[in-house]
Structure 1
Amino acid sequence: MKKAFFTLSLIFSISIAFGQYQFTMISDCHCTPVTSQDRTGTCWSFATSSFLEAELIRMGKRDIDLSEMYFVRKNYEDKALNYYLRQGKAQFGQGGLAHDVINAYAAAGAVPQEVYSGLLPGENRYDHSEMEAMLKAIVETALKSKSTSEKWMNAYRTVIDNYMGSVPENFNYKGKTYTPKTFAASLGIDPGDYVSFTSYTHHPFYSSFVLEIPDNWSNGSFINVPIEDLVAIAENAVENGYSVAWDGDVSEKTFSARKGIAVLPANDRGEEVWEKPGEEVSATQELRQQTFESFSTTDDHLMHITGVAKDQNGTHYFYIKNSWGEISPYDGYLYMSEPYFRLKTVSIMVHKDAVPENVKKKLGWNL
């Protein structure tokens, strides 16, 4: 279970120092406490569920802990059919993207964590490695069969039940009875309000395209904008009480969840990189494209941006909630420098109202 909500957002100019990094919070929004995805590749659900919980707080709703594993389960089912219909020529695994949670919310609703944890009695950690192998084996067997019956999907769902537990058709929550769909409807979240952005030059700017990354198994569309606009969207969101679902690369040696720092030093600084800020790489649009096409920038991980800060040199950082437990000096959060964000961000998701007015005009949105 998650704890009480953080109240850090009530303090907008608090200086935090560990080692020689000195961070001053510029903007911060309410969000729920850090949790852990444990031994699963479900960061996309943890990050986006946290994003939706922050949306509920922003909307003045009661404190609600959404079940990440409910969305995961729905996606396991959708991936099976997608993999089968594409005759095995599709991504199958634990990964996903922010829009997969939004799609699951729209199609199947949501449930509270206390109703469906995705853990069996006596379990306290997530581990989907064995289940994933079992699920893929079922779909592969169905593909190889010359006369596949409709029973394979029932068998597939039974395996999920055996590892994650079954979802109740009806449940009681705070004195009312719901189904997953009626519960989602009661929250007031409109899945159509959320938009995904990216920034690459192999497609025209201010248009949408299906981003060519492995975890985009559901062929989600992203609005393509210049990197300057992508940064502006993220900053504008947090400055106006919204938050951001972030997807990007965390494979750099200078990304450390345990140290709570993600930077891109211009030169090899050794261990000093963790001790104090220094000069960073100039992350241009051209360099973004180069690293994307060379696969040195990949969609490794999703996290939840909840704040903007600056260091003693004036460099801006995004304050980010991770889903690897309360590690780092910042209890599971980390500070990502703007240069790192500029180069290593693959995509973001925000509420459409968080988009700056000048970007909306470029997109031709009705204001």
Structure 2
Amino acid sequence: MRKLLVMTLLAITAIGATAQEKKAEINVNKPVFTVVRENKITSIKNQSRSGTCWDYSTLSFFEAEILKKTGKTYDLCESFVANKTYMDRAIQVVRLHGDCQFSEGGSSYDPLYCLENYGICPENAMPSAGSLYGDSLNNYNEFFHLMTPYVMAVAKSDSKKLSTQWKAGLQGILDAYLGKCPEKFTYEGKSYTPKSFAASLGIDFNDYASITSYTHHPFWKGFPVEVQDNWRNPLSWNIPMEDMMRIIDNAVMNGYTVAWGGDVSEDGFTRDGLAYNTDTKKVQSLTGSDMARWLKLTKTQKNNMIDSLGCKVPEIIPTQKMRQERYDNWELTDDHGMLIYGIAKDQNGKEYYMVKNSWGEAGEYKGIWYMTKNFIAANTMDFMVNKNAIPNDIRKKLGI
């Protein structure tokens, strides 16, 4: 009995020590968020191993638009949009004899174009992602390894005249990996075509505008943002950075979401659900790193340092000049699309956008990222928003 008592006391002591150790490991700098405004969104999705953030984020945007306007929740089909979009993109590549890029990427305009011209179907009207090739989620590796050389072989052909059969062959590849787009389907007891279903969603496809902010084109006019995945060349309204940010704030505070496209390759974007416009020099100083040591660190190690600083991460205040310089030297890229749907503050009063990602329930916040306003201002390539969410004075200047 005495031996058992001693062992019990030792176990209790060990548990207490472990608890104290864990308590000591708690990051006191971890942000504690208070929601300022949170708009309704649909469920978190997972694009998995596919370059379709543009598809997932923009359909999430339209799902939120429908939810706001009608109160109805839809799960729109990303595979339908991908099937139609990749065929259109291939046609353009062939038309230009391969002198443009064929890739998985796209822009927020592509789903809008699809909805307007081809319609849409609900998720369950096509095979679930990855199911046709024995996967539980998207995996475009084999798919694009087959499709890209096929398209480029046609585009670079030395034939004097092409037949139309290359399209039938490509459609076969698209349908084999994504599923055939239905001509008719039943949803909640009613029969639809993709176009009639899109018309039934209760939103006006003329209500949407794309916004950007650069100085190599005049402000208050539209231009096609010069990035490869903006291959349809739709116009974005070019406005000063401060007004660009005013639109996002006004949209969120008035119940709208924003289909955001920008750069998440920066050190301040962590896999744990946070994004800061990090002042690298100050971070080095706070973490005891010099430049030489910092450059040798892996991205994971840098992110761990940034995570440890949490809400005390020093940030660079972006300027219009910085945005332009980073765009011109290829630092500011359009590598990801996400959905801005809310605003929150940390314990120090710093404001963050609440952003829905398409990587499943990843990170500390189960698929949601908290991205500071400085990060968004610095790293926005462009975004889509409902025209009615734009402040009246900006709409008046744009004439929309």
Task: Report the TM-score when normalising by structure 2.
Answer: 0.84
Point out the more displaced range, 134-143 or 302-311.
134-143
Q: CA-atom RMSD, angstroms?
A: 1.5
Trace 1:22-171 onto structure 2 (pairs within 5 A): 22-116=32-126, 117-121=128-132, 122-143=134-155, 144-146=157-159, 147-171=161-185
Q: Is the 8 A contact 1:208 1:222 kept in 2?
A: yes
Q: Is the 8 A contact 1:103 1:191 kept in 2?
A: no
- In the alignment, what sits opposite 2:307? 274
Query: Which string of whole-angstrom CA distances, capped at 9 and with x for unpartnered residues, describes residues 80-135 of structure 1?
Result: 10001111111211000101110111110010001123543553110112212222
Distance 2:42 2:135 in 1: 23
- In the alignment, what sits opposite 1:263? 276
1:209–1:224 Cα change, 3 Å: same
- Which has a greater percent of strand? 1
- In the alignment, what sits opposite 2:23? none
Point out the more displaced range, 190-199 or 139-148.
139-148
1:180 to 177, 191, 194: 194
Structure 1 gap ranges (5+) = 1-16
1:336 to 348, 359, 371: 371
Deviation at 1:304, TM superposition (A): 0.5
Point out the more displaced range, 132-141 or 234-243.
132-141
Distance 1:317 1:140 in 2: 43
- Which has a greater percent of helix? 2
2:388 to 339, 349, 353: 353
Query: Which string of whole-angstrom CA distances, capped at 9 and with x for unpartnered residues, describes residues 24-43 of structure 1?
Result: 11111000111110000000
Distance 1:103 1:287 in 2: 32
Query: Which string of whole-angstrom CA distances, capped at 9 and with x for unpartnered residues, describes residues 214-271 of structure 1?
Result: 1111111100011101111011111001000000001111101x31110023222554
Distance 1:131 1:20 in 2: 41
Q: Is the 8 A contact 1:18 1:329 kept in 2?
A: no
> Partner amino acid for 2:170?
Y
- In the alignment, what sits opposite 1:21? 31
1:33–1:204 Cα change, 3 Å: same
Work out the percentage of aligned pairs sharing the same amino acid. 39
Trace 1:263-302 onto structure 2 (pairs within 5 A): 263-266=276-279, 267-268=282-283, 269-270=286-287, 271-275=304-308, 276-278=310-312, 279-302=314-337
Deviation at 1:272, TM superposition (A): 4.7
Q: Is the 8 A contact 1:24 1:309 kept in 2?
A: yes
Task: Report the TM-score when normalising by structure 1.
Answer: 0.91
Q: Is the 8 A contact 1:262 1:340 kept in 2?
A: yes
Distance 2:361 2:29 in 1: 19
- In the alignment, what sits opposite 2:240? 226
> Partner amino acid for 1:49?
L
Query: Which string of whole-angstrom CA distances, capped at 9 and with x for unpartnered residues, describes residues 305-358 of structure 1?
Result: 010111222221111000011011111101101111111111111000000112
Structure 2 gap ranges (5+) = 1-26, 288-303
Distance 2:153 2:278 in 1: 49
Per the alignment, in what secondary structure is the counterpart of residue 346 of structure 1? strand
Distance 2:193 2:29 in 1: 50
Q: Is the 8 A contact 2:130 2:139 kept in 1?
A: no
- In the alignment, what sits opposite 1:200? 214
Larger radius of gyration: 2
Per the alignment, in what secondary structure is the counterpart of residue 236 of structure 1? helix
Per the alignment, in what secondary structure is the counterpart of residue 167 of structure 2? helix
Distance 2:260 2:154 in 1: 35
Query: Which string of whole-angstrom CA distances, capped at 9 and with x for unpartnered residues, describes residues 34-56 of structure 1?
Result: 11100000000000010011011
> Partner amino acid for 1:137?
P
Point out the more displaced range, 234-243 or 60-69.
60-69
1:159–1:24 Cα change, 3 Å: same
